[in-house]
Amino acid sequence: MEYFTTTSKASKRAADCVIVGVYARNKLGAGAADIDTSSKGHLSALLKSGDISSAPGRCRILTGVPGVRARRVAVVGLGKFSKMNSTIYKKAVAAAITALDGSKTKKILNTLTLEPVDGTSPYYLARHSVEAMGDTLYRFTEMKSGRKKKPMPLSSYGHSIAKRGDAAKAARGAQHGDGIAKGVSLAKDLGNLPANVCTPSYLARVAKKLAAGNGKLTTKVLNEAEMKRLGMGSLLSVTAGTAEPAKLIVMQYKGAGSDKPVVLVGKGVTFDTGGISLKPGPAMDEMKFDMCGAAGVIGTMAAVATMKLPINVNVVVPAVENMPSSTATKPGDIVKSMSGQTIEVLNTDAEGRLILCDALTYSRRFKPAAIIDVATLTGACVVALGAHRTAIMSNNDALREEIFAAGDAAEDRGWPMPLGDEYAAQLKSNFADMANIGGPGGGAVTAGCFLGKFTDGMDWAHLDIAGTAWKSGARKGGSGRPVPMLTQVLLARCGALP
Ligand code: BES
Ligand code: MN
Ligand code: ZN
């Protein structure tokens, strides 16, 4: 895809389509006003007669508008002018792309970047436009037989800017949006693939493939024997019941010499049956998404590599399948983690923390500038925050604030949750150093506290994405979150934001 920015008028541009916006009460957006003038009132007439709607999310494609060079004009509703915001903006871009999908559109100019969107800069307007387009055009058809619908042959996507001085910023926004969209798309694919395809070995192959031919990126994969030698008894206890080999995937991206890396650790349970503490039947298929932490950090790595960011980032993915069998770990079994601490496995369904703790201990060798783990860790997190926000916990207030702010800027939002000794006390065990569950109250927090016992001395944050990583229901599928949030943290850290 080629991205461009332009200060030229919407009516003058030779594109297959220009996207313009209209507000309630017959108010025209900047692009629409220009089209209206050059077509001698065509748009305002259609608006007044009710043939085009100003409701957010509505779009109508007009062809052959007089006085306009572009073959199509996509007119999208933006709602009330005073209520215009970035959510409506993204919805409008998505509506236009949806309406165009299926047409033979190759070149689009989006003029919505000219609208005042509560203080959003040209950088973010262009970026969110490209991200929204990626989200809208995403399809997961790999597992369907039969002929697949051809994607729209789009090759060029442009954004209108008001002044020349904004060109570089908007261009960078589009470029970053492209990198994030690629990462999100990869994370969605990995989430959506079924567990009989997306195994730990499959994740390892994807990570290796990303590094192939990239001089800045290397991938190393540890097998079970190597993990055993490292003393990862906790991680290995989760894979005890399955024939599917576990993997520890380690990716290193070097974009900034000898700087300390940001380390991203992603839960990669490629299927979570619960193990001997078997889950109930309904919606168990959704536990194929229990590797979305892994998908999120690998997707973020893909975004970083695409953008060639000047930063050092490592990704560590403990990848396992959690199954019951005669060799599976049993409730009450005690295992020894790589840190030396012993754990009483009171519930084999609290397996995410058992693999993450060893991955966190392993990551110490990198002397992280910050370490962030990402996991579909607890049903309790979904109870607390629903499907809208990712839970953010940290042993460092500044790091938690940093991630929170990044989520807002990237429009991939989180919300802070506490940690603390009073919660950690719920993990006491009569027989081992700790239990792997903390009782009925505050389940997302006690899970965070469990991980906190393995991060002493590191600046660490934990993201529970149990509610945000995928959608259930008719539009079931991976969301690609929190790739935008994590990428934003890295963009900000390496000074790549305008
Ligand atoms: N992968 C699940 C958490 C989960 C459940 C995420 C549903 C999204 C939707 C995790 O491994 C798990 O089973 N957690 C248990 C922990 C409990 C046994 C302390 C849970 O949340 O029930
Ligand atoms: Mn589980
Ligand atoms: Zn799980």
Q: What is the pLDDT of residues 212-266, one digit of tens each?
A: 999 999 999 999 999 999 999 999 999 999 999 999 999 999 999 999 999 999 9
In ligand 1, the atom with minimum distance to the C-alpha of 347 is 18
User: Could you list the mean pLDDT of each consecutive 10-residue stretch along the chain, which spans 498 residues?
Assistant: 96 95 97 98 96 96 97 98 96 98 96 95 98 97 90 96 97 98 98 98 99 97 99 99 99 98 99 98 98 99 98 99 99 99 99 99 99 99 98 99 98 98 98 98 98 99 99 98 99 98
Residue 151 is predicted with a pLDDT of 87
Q: Which residues make Cβ contacts (< 8 Å) with residue 278, sequence separation at least 6?
A: 324, 349
| Largest CA-CA distance found in the chain, in angstroms, rounded | 82
Residue 360 is predicted with a pLDDT of 99
Residue 164 is predicted with a pLDDT of 96
Task: Specify the CATH number of the domain 2-160.
Answer: 3.40.220.10
Q: Which residues make Cβ contacts (< 8 Å) with residue 36, sequence separation at least 6?
A: 28, 42, 43, 44
495: left (phi over 0), alpha (psi -120 to 50) or beta: left
Q: What is the secondary structure of 42-63 as a DSSP string?
A: HHHHHHHTTSS--STT-EEEEE
Which ligand ends up closest to the CA of 447? 1
Q: Is the CB of 437 under 6 A from ligand 1?
A: yes
CA distance 248 to 226: 9
CA distance 411 to 404: 10
Q: Is the CB of 445 under 6 A from ligand 1?
A: no
Residue 409 is predicted with a pLDDT of 97
Q: What is the secondary structure of 268-288 as a DSSP string?
A: EEEEE--TTSPPPSTTGGGGG
Residue 184 is predicted with a pLDDT of 99
Q: Which residue, judged by its Cα, is nearest atom 16 of ligand 1?
A: 350
Which are the catalytic amino acids?
279, 353
Task: Specify the CATH number of the domain 182-493.
Answer: 3.40.630.10
* Token pair 């049903």 in the structure block, residue: 379
Q: What is the secondary structure of 101-136 as a DSSP string?
A: TTS---EEEE-GGGS--TT--HHHHHHHHHHHHHHH
Residue 123 is predicted with a pLDDT of 98
Q: 10 Å Cβ neighbour count for 379?
A: 14
Mutate to test the pocket of ligand 1, among 273, 329, 378 (most ligand atoms within 8 A of CB): 378
Q: Is the CB of 466 under 6 A from ligand 1?
A: yes
Residue 383 is predicted with a pLDDT of 98
CA distance 259 to 68: 53
Residue 150 is predicted with a pLDDT of 86
Residue pLDDT, tens place only, 34-73: 999 999 999 999 999 999 999 999 999 999 999 999 999 9
Task: Name the nearest CA neighbour of 406 among 305, 294, 470, 482.
Answer: 482
In ligand 1, the atom with minimum distance to the C-alpha of 352 is 11
Q: Where are the beta strands (DSSP E) in 360-408?
A: 370-375, 390-394
Ligand 1 center from residue 352 Cα (angstroms): 8
Residue 312 φ then ψ, to 5°: -100, 125
Residue 237 is predicted with a pLDDT of 99
Interhelix angle 292-307/483-493, nearest 10 degrees: 40
CA distance 439 to 151: 49
Residue 112 is predicted with a pLDDT of 98
Helix, strand, or coil here: 456?
coil
**Cα–chain center distance at 340:** 33
Residue 304 is predicted with a pLDDT of 98
CA distance 436 to 358: 13
CA distance 472 to 470: 7
Q: What is the secondary structure of 152-186 as a DSSP string?
A: P---EEEEE-SSGGGHHHHHHHHHHHHHHHHHHHH
Does the N-terminal peptide bond of residue 280 adopt cis geometry, omega within 30 degrees of 0?
no
CA distance from start to end of the chain? 22
CA distance 18 to 65: 11
Distances (CA, A) of 492 to 328, 407, 410, 487: 44, 12, 11, 9
Query: Taking a C-beta distance cutoff of 8 angstroms, is the pair 57, 95 a contact?
Result: yes
Residue pLDDT, tens place only, 66-107: 999 999 999 999 999 999 999 999 999 999 999 999 999 999
Q: What is the mean pLDDT of the chain?
A: 98
Residue 147 is predicted with a pLDDT of 85
Distances (CA, A) of 496 to 30, 156, 291, 308, 421: 29, 24, 29, 11, 38
The domain segmentation of the chain, as residue ranges, is 2-160, 182-493
Residues bordering ligand 2, an ion, CB closer than 5 Å: 272, 349, 351
**Cα–chain center distance at 116:** 27
